[in-house]
Amino acid sequence: MIKSRVGFYLFLAVLMASPCAFAMSGRDVYEKVQEVRERGLDRKTEATMVLYDRGGGKRTRTLTEYGRNASPEAYKVLVVFNSPADLKGVGFLIHAHTFADRDLWAYFPEYKRVRRIPTASQDDSFFGSDFSYDDFSGPPNLNDYTYKILREETFDGKPCYVVEVKPKIRRKYTSYIAWVAKNLWVHTRIEYYQDKELYRSGAFRDIRTIDGIPTPFKIEMENHKTRHRTVLTVGNIRYRTSFPNELFSQRALERGGK
Amino acid sequence: MKKALVVTMLLAVCASTGFAEDFLSVSGRLNLRGVIPLNNNSATEYPSLLGRVKIDTTPPTWKFHLWLEGGWDGSVDLPAHDHSVLKTWDEVYQSTTPFLEFKELYGAYSTDILEIRAGVQRFSWGRLDEYPVNDLLNPWDYTQFLRKSLEDRKIGVPSLSARVSKGDWNVEAVWVPILVPYRLPLPTERWAGSTEITALADQPGVEVLTREPDLPARNLKNSSVGVRLQNTGPVEWGITLFHGYDPRPVFKATTLVVTPESGQLVVDPGIVPDFHKMSSFGLDVAAVKGDWSFRAEAAYAVGRYFNTQRELWGYPSDITPGRYDLNPNEHKSDTIEYGLGVDYRLFEDCLLTLQAQQTVILNRPETLYDRKFETLFWANLKNGFLNQKVETNLNLAYNPEHGDTMAKANAWYVFTDSWKAGVTAVAFWGPSQSLFGRYSKNDQIEAEVIFSW
């Protein structure tokens, strides 16, 4: 009897010491992250992107992003560049029917034509920055990934779950490791790997709670292969915007969201 | 037009002083360009300094939009033929430098579903690049043909348009009350190409006159209209109807007149640009499948005109003083035009675009230069490097019926948000009457510096 009790406690001790001992699973963490993302879908963001190349050169882009929770479909996003002059009026539009199925369109005023673009380019550089199109494309489909909590640690003064996320479908990266702030359920750091090689990383700083939604106001993304980095600073963000469907049409894309 | 220019200048001053910062959005660019011709016998081109200003009011319901271009155009044969500064809608030959041109100038009223625009507008209908067969509302400026992009070639037309958008449906109707003619270079200018007239102009001691055509009367009957219905579902499609003047150049042969004057021959070549009404019924589709983006369009045109082979126009072998009646050189036929374009992303920042299109002349006599089937293949490889600080483009075009080709390569380097510089090389091959072959003296290298704000 005593032997069996000792065995039971030993089993519990081993269980608690193993990764399964975390109060949440990696999937649970990302369901919380997704919940925060979905609450923030109705929004208008004005942001500035500064691109720094390794030679010290600097380019600045300003953009406005409009988002809408498109229930029963997933969401709609319209992004329009306001500067520099070469990019002014350039935009792209996303209709996400589900979190896994999206239609993308791009508009270049130079050609005066809206063009459908394949989703295959979602991991490509977003207009020369170190962000990808996917970073601007709304929440992902949780079922397209596997999640594993690696550890808990503090980053930037915030206690975080460190979660390894692996895509089940072909992506430019083989995995990413994300630091997810406990209780806020937003990323504070992210590292993208191609096999075991780190190629892109980002830090999410100046996290403020706007309308109950934790929002990073400064995101620094760096490409470790090219040593190019981009700093995105949110100038203004407004949630619960309830934009009409017409704002997410090809006509609105051509008109720069106006 | 002069009043519009004064208003433009006032708006630009207001915007530059910050007076109307919340009301106006202003952007612009300056472009300095130089050309090195690669053929010894080609026409001279001087450096060009061109500017562009765009002004938009920001309130969404009532909107004003202006796109003004101007500057010193080095491709104009000096002294300039026409000294008016503002480009007009009355003339085919407008070789003038310095110049100003309203590419777009309109007012718009918008609601959630309706947009009405009135003024000088350019439209982009259809799906294909370079020669969209349903894009017939704007004539082209051929004075620097093939060195300008499709959108830069388009001449803004005074027009009234209305667009209704509801859900996945869009309907747009356009009325162009007057005929705006296409523009052509003078026979002595760089982009005149090889024509019967330029062959005369190349002869020593010959001065060639260019005659403006008599434009059709500017009345309601001679206006042009277009309607486009578009659906933006999973497979996007559109239907286009157009009835109006064919924007593509065709020439009428009349009488060749050769007159001796002050020791040289003055030649009126008896070839004038001609304008004909036509109707076109078109269909276009676009879809994405996997990594491929597809675009296709087709049009059935009723009553297009084509020119016969130049050898049949009746030009004498030796140019001697006298009058020579030329042969009728136009032929009317219905056509079917169709094309398919695909985009494929080879790797990050590298896009391959392929396009094939064909024109079928349904009632073609043997006298036409154009074959019953005229095909064009286009390929473009666009590549970005160093986070799009460097962009390269390689463009190839080939017409198998006549064996003519164009190859163009360019590279751009972005220094800052405002400054960029680029080099473009272009070469042409083919018979002298073919689309690309007529520019076989125009092989060139071009350097540009652009400042934008």
**Residue boundaries of the structural domains of chain A:** 22-254
Q: Residue B79: which of B101, B96, B93 has the closest Cα?
A: B96
A226 to B387: CB separation less than 8 angstroms, yes or no:
yes
Is the CB of residue B349 less than 8 Å away from at least one CB of chain A?
yes
- Answer yes or no: is pLDDT of A80 > 90: yes
ipTM entry: 0.85
Q: Could you say which residues from 125 to 144 on chain B have a Cβ atom under 8 Å away from some Cβ of chain A? A: 127
Query: What is the percentage of chain A residues whose pLDDT exceeds 90?
Result: 64
Lookup result for tokens 């019953």: B372
B112 to A250: CB separation less than 8 angstroms, yes or no:
no
Q: How many CB pairs under 8 A join A and B?
A: 102
Assign 3-state DSSP to chain A and report helix, strand, coil percentages, each to 5: 20, 50, 30
pLDDT at position B11 is: 56
Cα B358 from chain centre: 19
B387 to A121: CB separation less than 8 angstroms, yes or no:
no
Confidence band for A133, pLDDT divided at 50, 70 and 90: confident
Distance CA A195, CA A227 (A): 19
| Closest chain B C-alpha to A94 CA, distance in angstroms | 13
B79: Cα within 13 Å, side-chain hemisphere? 3
φ, ψ of residue B215 to 5 degrees: the values are: -75, 150
Q: Which residues on chain B are in Cβ contact (under 8 Å) with A117?
A: 288, 293, 343
Q: Which residues on chain B are in Cβ contact (under 8 Å) with A258?
A: 58, 60, 63
pLDDT at position B44 is: 85
A110 to B151: CB separation less than 8 angstroms, yes or no:
yes
- Chain A residue with CA closest to B345: the answer is A121
Per-residue pLDDT of chain B (453 residues; tens, 9 = 90+): 555 555 555 555 555 555 555 688 899 999 999 999 998 888 889 999 999 999 999 777 899 999 999 999 999 988 877 778 999 999 999 989 999 999 999 999 998 889 999 999 999 999 998 889 999 999 999 998 888 888 999 999 999 999 999 888 999 999 999 999 999 999 889 899 888 778 777 788 888 888 899 999 989 999 999 999 999 888 899 999 999 999 999 999 999 999 999 889 999 999 999 999 999 999 999 999 888 999 999 999 999 999 999 999 998 888 889 999 999 999 999 999 999 999 998 988 899 999 999 999 999 999 999 999 999 999 999 999 988 899 999 999 999 999 999 999 999 999 999 999 999 999 999 999 899 999 999 999 999 999 999
For B183, which DSSP code? B
Residue ranges making up the domain that contains B182: 2-452
Cβ-proximal residues to A72 (8 Å cutoff; 6+ apart), any chain = none
Number of Cβ atoms within 10 Å of the Cβ of A54: 11
- Answer yes or no: is pLDDT of A169 > 50: yes
| Closest chain A C-alpha to B378 CA, distance in angstroms | 17
Number of domains chain B is built from: 1
Cα A99 from chain centre: 13
Distance CA B342, CA B166 (A): 28
Which residue did the predictor score with more confidence, B78 or A45?
A45
Say which of B165, B291, B416 has its CB closest to residue A249: B165
B343 to A117: CB separation less than 8 angstroms, yes or no:
yes
**Token output for B193:** 């190409």
pLDDT at position A251 is: 87
**Token output for B52:** 């562009």
Distance CA B412, CA A240 (A): 42
Distance CA B152, CA B241 (A): 24
A120 to B387: CB separation less than 8 angstroms, yes or no:
no
Average pLDDT on A74-101 reads: 91
E strand or H helix at A3: helix A2-17
- CB–CB of B242/B218 below 8 Å? no
**Helix (H/G/I), strand (E/B), else coil: A143:** helix
Q: Residue A210: which of A70, A55, A29, A42 has the closest Cα?
A: A42
B348 to A57: CB separation less than 8 angstroms, yes or no:
no
E strand or H helix at A62: strand A58-69
- CB–CB of A168/A38 below 8 Å? no
Cα A251 from chain centre: 27
Q: Residue B410: which of B367, B436, B444, B452 has the closest Cα?
A: B444
pLDDT at position B262 is: 86
**Helix (H/G/I), strand (E/B), else coil: A29:** helix
Query: What residues pair up with B22 in beta bridges, in sequence order?
Result: none
Q: How far is CA A175 from CA A162, A172, A220, B161, in A?
A: 13, 9, 19, 51
**Helix (H/G/I), strand (E/B), else coil: A227:** coil
Which pTM value belongs to this model?
Answer: 0.88
Is the CB of residue B163 less than 8 Å away from at least one CB of chain A?
yes
B286 to A116: CB separation less than 8 angstroms, yes or no:
yes
Number of Cβ atoms within 10 Å of the Cβ of A140: 18
Task: Kindly tell me the burial class for residue A134, based on how many C-beta atoms sit within 10 Å of its own C-beta (0-12, 13-18, 19 or more).
Answer: middle
**Helix (H/G/I), strand (E/B), else coil: A78:** strand
Distance CA B90, CA B87 (A): 9
A88, A113, A249: which to substitute to probe chain B, counting the most B Cβ within 10 Å?
A113
**Token output for B383:** 């590549």
Number of Cβ atoms within 10 Å of the Cβ of B233: 11
Cβ-proximal residues to B101 (8 Å cutoff; 6+ apart), any chain = B68, B69, B70, B86, B87
- Mind listing the pLDDT tens digit for each residue in A146-160? 999 999 999 999 999
Task: Kindly tell me the burial class for residue B228, based on how many C-beta atoms sit within 10 Å of its own C-beta (0-12, 13-18, 19 or more).
Answer: buried
> In CATH, what number is assigned to the domain containing residue B446?
2.40.160
| Closest chain B C-alpha to A66 CA, distance in angstroms | 16
Distance CA A110, CA B308 (A): 36
Domain A22-254 class? mainly beta
How would you classify the pairing of strands B169-176 and B224-232?
Answer: antiparallel
Calculate ∠ Cα B324-B326-B330, nearest 5°. Answer: 170
B293 to A60: CB separation less than 8 angstroms, yes or no:
no
pLDDT at position A10 is: 47
- CB–CB of B237/B191 below 8 Å? no
Cα B287 from chain centre: 27
Q: Which residues on chain B are in Cβ contact (under 8 Å) with A49?
A: none
Confidence band for A257, pLDDT divided at 50, 70 and 90: confident
Distance CA B4, CA B105 (A): 9
Lookup result for tokens 């037009």: B1
Distance CA B414, CA B411 (A): 10
Distance CA B289, CA B302 (A): 34
**Token output for B348:** 């990050």
**Token output for B20:** 């109307």
Q: Could you say which residues from 170 to 229 on chain B have a Cβ atom under 8 Å away from some Cβ of chain A? A: 170
Q: Residue B389: which of B417, B409, B410, B367 has the closest Cα?
A: B417
Say which of A51, A112, A118 has its CB closest to residue B124: A112
Q: Which residues on chain B are in Cβ contact (under 8 Å) with A53?
A: 386-387, 389
Average pLDDT on A14-27 reads: 64
- CB–CB of B447/B34 below 8 Å? yes
Task: Kindly tell me the burial class for residue B220, based on how many C-beta atoms sit within 10 Å of its own C-beta (0-12, 13-18, 19 or more).
Answer: exposed
A interface with B, Cβ–Cβ below 8 Å? 51, 53, 57-60, 83-86, 88, 103, 110-113, 115-121, 123-125, 127-130, 172, 226, 228, 244-246, 249-251, 255, 258
Cβ-proximal residues to B336 (8 Å cutoff; 6+ apart), any chain = B298, B299, B300, B301, B359, B360, B362
Distance CA A82, CA A63 (A): 5
Say which of A59, A83, A117 has its CB closest to residue B293: A117
